[in-house]
Structures are given as C-alpha cells and as structure tokens.
Amino acid sequence: MTPTTSRMERVLGRVLGVGATASSICLAIGLVMTLAAGASTAARVLLTAGIVLLLATPVVRVAVSSAGYARRREWLFVVLTLVVLAQLAATIAAAFAM
C-alpha cells in the first residue's frame, strides 16, 4: 500500500467515523428527550439531524473519494466516483420531488 493510499483510507475512515458518531449522538439525545418529555420540537430536530447525518455520510465519503482520486490522478476512478455521486444526487432530488 502506498503512502497516498493509506492517507486516503485514513481520511475516509475519519469521514465515516465522524459522520456515524455525530449521527449517533444526535439520535441518542433526541431519543432520550422524546422518552423523557415527549415529542418536543428540539427532540424532533435532533432526530431529523441524526437521520440526515447518517444518510449524508456515504455521500460525503464518495465526494471525498473522488477528490482523493483526482489528487492521485486516477482518472478512471474519478469518473466512476463522480457517476456514483451523480446517481446519489439524482436519487435525492427525486425523493424530494415526490
């Protein structure tokens, strides 16, 4: 494994770790608030933020991967990750259009 590969894997791991941790914290606090005091606005905001963070984490990972491949000049992988990113964006746009 080259140094640039291991660096990119560390960055991607950090992205996934931060996204999962932030999502888990929001979901846990929102759940505790809901169980303690009922469905308050703050609890709903935290639960929604947790779900959005959980769903956004893979999208951010694909975007970071694309940038990493571009930095390494691996153009086939840049194109492939951009195609995946475009598919994710189209799916998100279609979901909001419904």
Residue-wise pLDDT for 62-72, tens only, equals: 999 999 999 99
Checking if the pLDDT of 39 tops 70, the result is: yes
Q: How many CB atoms lie within 10 A of CB 65?
A: 21
Report the chain's mean pLDDT, rounded to a whole number.
91
Checking if the pLDDT of 94 tops 80, the result is: yes
Contact 54, 23 (CB under 8 A): yes
Q: Which residue shows structure tokens 């840049």?
A: 78
Please report, for residues 6, 17, 32, the alpha-carbon distance to residue 45 in angstroms, rounded to integers and kept in the order given. Answer: 37, 22, 13
pTM (predicted TM-score): 0.78
Q: What percent of the chain has pLDDT over 70?
A: 96
Within 8 A by CB and 6+ apart from 79, the residues are none
Tokens standing for residue 22: 């932030």
Please report, for residues 27, 51, 83, 87, 89, the alpha-carbon distance to residue 94 in angstroms, rounded to integers and kept in the order given. Answer: 25, 18, 16, 10, 9
